Structure 1
């Protein structure tokens, strides 16, 4: 880069914050080198966003797409392209439905590029943390709020000073706290509200110490609003967190993978913290007697999740004791592969977690009274791919999506991210389905040393042990989020049902299973 172009770049970057319209007017002064084009694209996207100028955002996206096709993979280019696609979708959303069309395609491709940055070890911690913050915001825009909270927390683990991620999480938790207080009977199984408020208080303290980072990442214009929210959150009483003595419970708390958004110390002490449940459903006098079977389905899915999570905990460390006996001998394949019950348990945990998505689809099909509900899967419930026509949604599902069923839109987006699409390629979560299928129908072989293990046989999928452990944790997080969306789906649908004459409401206060079985008073 020449001294003149370097000076122009700095000048335009300053204008980007102070006078976005002037920066856009002068952007064509940049040269046509890759660096010049990338800088121009970023200015077009950021300033176009600030001014609500969709054409400038689209032009920036086009430049980055061309660059991405010309040069080797760059995490910075991928990150900025994902950011541009996300913003283009945001500025276009009023003219299109969020689950199909160009808006949905842009969001899908943004998630793919964000996912590529997530998996690239050369990306800096700051880039990874900002990427997780942005994909969290993108998840919120498609009603995937549980995954968004996970992303904001992960962004802070990578970069503890990331005040933007802390603010995004805090703002969402504050809105959830208001909802839970207003509709306590409906949402009381979602979390312990006091524990949630303590998390809000902690996040406010993080933000207050890192306003400079917030300004660096998001600009100064948003600071007054942020400071006002932080001041409100800091009025919450600060209660020191008590330690959780049982290692497994401590693991659940540390990774925030309970079927509850935030749990109290008392819930961990009691050993009952997976409290998410369906609050109630409406039934008519024409329905079969007894508790609706959707409650039994939810019970099974919760138990499957808790079992997969506990298996993962028991086998994730090679030198830790497990309840499993290693009784088999194995031939060494001389490629650093690891064999035994421990690793079969690990692949089983991933498979059980991912299979919860199939159970959710069957439960939804039963609830909507779809034909052949028992044969439904998470792949076929949505519709089918037809050559030359693209993906065609099934009628009942499309009607629900058009009707604004936000939890179903969230689950449909997950389907897109674990699938391959005719025109757009693989979703960024496709590895989860790939390894679930491999361990179910073929062979998954894990390696604790070496890299780039492959096979000429399509019957075997190889993966690094540490990477597979992270994949399993990701599958657990995905299953957890999907279960929240499923309960959201039931709540949404029940709210919009006609209250027919003679309807009876069955609530989650049907007898507690442990009480009926005599396991608690």
Structure 2
């Protein structure tokens, strides 16, 4: 007589075969699975039923089946919040959401599904950062999280996610091909340098080189599509490693302010060449000077570059003047300008977010007083007493429906940062601790063993360094989305304008100052 485990594996194999040959029948038989059994059989059957309902529901486009499977995954996650269940729940949520339409109903879809998508991001984030999950689950979680970012025009974060997936599994062709397509889309819009296309080709060739991994992660059909895509591209040229350690670090950590996350051309003098497009003048009596948004954007860039430089210089304590004398607290804490620079770099990067919101409020004429603008609060109105939902403000909605889709990515990032359960909320809380209280870094030992006080938050220096780099990437992505949003808006204004549209060439600041030797 077959064991309980043998019966389960037999039923699982049977349903898998049905999903490939007759998904409607697979859904029907999944609904017939009897869950009135003792543990652990009930757990396994719930998981099998949920997976089959979601996968089959997607194949036969039965939303009811997907929702049934999702309810089972939620019940499982409530009882067993493991990374495997979290990953399956996230995929169930993504299946329930479906692919966003590429038509005027896109914003309606994003708003209708925002709670499901935020929950899916939280689940994928949990798995991607888990110490217990195996590398295959984590690389898939990063890939799927990046796909979610990309669907909301959060392209910088998406690329970070795909590259994180490739760090875990360098043969993850699904992540590589997704990143390649994303870069080529931006390149074809005229946003990027030729290096963007070269990197896209390099990524596509990874996908082409490892078809078995693509089949393993995404199936045979995806592998065929990716192979066809990659075969259309020529081989990329060879690149030499950077000799300058700072440039190598900036490229490795993806901290250039360019239109896309791309590699650095060593012959280009400026790493941070992201610029605003030409701006259609709105004031009839303007003096010929560029609009104030250019000054705001310049300050954003300058502040980011300084925060990045602080993080770089904090790596080496010997580059700082040894003018301070400190009492040792006998707990392996590090004190001095190098530790303070790292904490300040984290804080300065995230302080940019409110300034980004102020810039968006000014440029898009959202109508808020500049001294009352906050990154997490700008985009939505008050809670609707009937629905309990905070709708987009009328002006924000008008801008997005006018063709500025990237602005939705900025407000979604703001919600991940500001909401109590958002995936970036810990960054905000760490920034607040560094601003209003004390953050102390330890290079050895266990910070929890130090003498504790509510005014002090303690972290391992190595871990805090990663948080500072993550904060810089958040700020970089937000600046990129702001620039892309302005570009989309200006393109729309130019298309709608009648008659001759004049433009003002904004000169290079270094050239005006007489210090540009780059040409």
Above 0.5 in TM-score? yes
Q: Secondary structure at the match of 2:273?
A: coil
Query: Which residue of 7, 10, 35 maps to 2:10?
Result: 7
Following superposition, the deviation at residue 31 of structure 1 comes to: 5.2
Matches of 2:146 and 2:488 in 1, distance apart?
23
Deviates more, 1:128-137 or 1:363-372: 363-372
- In terms of mean alpha carbon deviation, does 462-471 or 153-162 score higher? 462-471
Is 2:120 aligned against 1:77?
Answer: no
Cα deviations by residue, 1:17-64 (Å, 9 ceiling, x for unpaired): 443223222213545311221222122222222222221211111111
For 2:336 and 2:381, locate their aligned partners in 1 and report how far apart those are by CA, in whole Å. Answer: 39
Aligned to 2:439: 444
Give the one of 424, 440, 444 matched to 1:429. 424
2:262 & 2:463 partners in 1: Cα distance? 28
Shift of 1:457: 5.2
* Match for residue 100 of structure 1 among 87, 98, 111: 111
Report the secondary structure of 2:459's partner residue: strand
Report SS of the residue matched to 1:171: helix
- 2:403/2:489 contact within 8 Å kept: no
1:201 aligns with 2:211: no
Which of 67, 71, 75 is equivalent to 2:76?
A: 67
Secondary structure of the equivalent of 1:504? coil
Is 1:43 matched up with 2:39? no
When structure 1 is superposed on structure 2, of 91-100 and 249-258 the one drifting more is 91-100
**Any conservation in 2 of the 1:24–1:43 contact (CA below 8 Å)?**
yes
Deviates more, 1:383-392 or 1:284-293: 383-392
Q: Partners in 1 of 2:489 and 2:86 — Cα distance?
A: 38
Superimposed CA distance per residue, residues 398-431 of structure 1 (whole angstroms, 9 cap, x where no aligned partner): 33234452111001100110122xxxx5101101
Q: Deviations over 1:259-293 (max 9, x none)?
A: 1236676x434431211000110014525321111
Whole-angstrom distance in 1 between the partners of 2:294 and 2:24: 56
Residues 280, 22 of structure 1: alpha-carbon distance in 2 compared, 3 angstrom cutoff: same
CA distance in 2, matches of 1:371, 1:287: 24
| Structure 1 counterpart of 2:184 | 174
Deviation digits for residues 285-342 of structure 1, max 9, x if unmatched?
A: 52532111111111111111111112112224xxx35432243344444544333222
The aligned residue for residue 376 of structure 1 is: 373
- Partner of residue 516 from structure 1, selected from 498, 512, 518: 512
Q: TM-score, normalised by structure 2?
A: 0.89
Deviation string for 1:429-471 (max 9, x for gaps)? 1011111111111122223332657997553333332222111
Equivalent residue runs for 1:214-363 within 5 Å:
214-233=214-233, 235=234, 237-260=235-258, 261=260, 267-284=265-282, 286-289=284-287, 290-316=289-315, 320-363=316-359
Distance 1:314 1:198, change over 3 A: same
* Correspondence for 2:39: none
1:218 CA drift (Å): 0.7
From the superposition, tell whether residues 361 and 453 of structure 1 become closer, same or farther in structure 2 (CA, over 3 Å).
Answer: farther
Task: Determine helix, strand or coil for the equivalent of 1:160.
Answer: coil
- Tell me the secondary structure at the aligned position of residue 98 of structure 2: helix
1:54 touches 1:91 (CA, 8 Å); kept in 2?
no
**Mind listing any 5+ residue stretches in structure 2 that lack a counterpart?**
36-41
The alpha-carbon distance between structure 1 residues 200 and 393, as it changes in their structure 2 partners (threshold 3 A), is closer
Structure 1: 5+ residue stretches without partners? 181-186
With over 3 angstroms needed to count, the CA separation of the structure-2 counterparts of 1:280 and 1:245, relative to structure 1, is same
Q: So what's the TM-score if we normalise by structure 1?
A: 0.89
**8 Å CA contact 1:192, 1:264 repeated in 2:** no
Q: Does 1:58 align with 2:67?
A: yes
86-95 or 475-484, larger mean C-alpha shift: 86-95
- Cα distance in structure 1, aligned partners of 2:396 and 2:106: 21
Q: Provide closer, same or farther for how the CA distance between residues 519 and 121 of structure 1 changes in structure 2, counting only shifts above 3 A.
A: same
Whether the 8 Å contact between 1:357 and 1:482 is mirrored in structure 2 is yes
SS in 2 for 1:136: helix
Judging changes above 3 Å, is the alpha-carbon distance between structure 1 residues 54 and 377 closer, same or farther for their aligned structure 2 residues? same
Q: Is the 8 A contact 2:156 2:261 kept in 1?
A: no
Q: Is the 8 A contact 1:45 1:60 kept in 2?
A: yes
Q: Give the whole-Å Cα distance in 1 for the aligned partners of 2:121 and 2:325.
A: 43
**Contact 1:314–1:323 (8 Å) recurs in 2:** yes
Q: Note the aligned Cα RMSD (angstroms).
A: 2.5
1:192 aligned partner: 193
**Kept after mapping to 2: 8 A contact 1:454/1:461:** no
What is the rounded CA distance, in whole Å, between the counterparts of 2:466 and 2:68 in structure 1? 37
Q: Hey, what's the Cα distance between the residues in 1 that align with 2:225 and 2:99?
A: 22
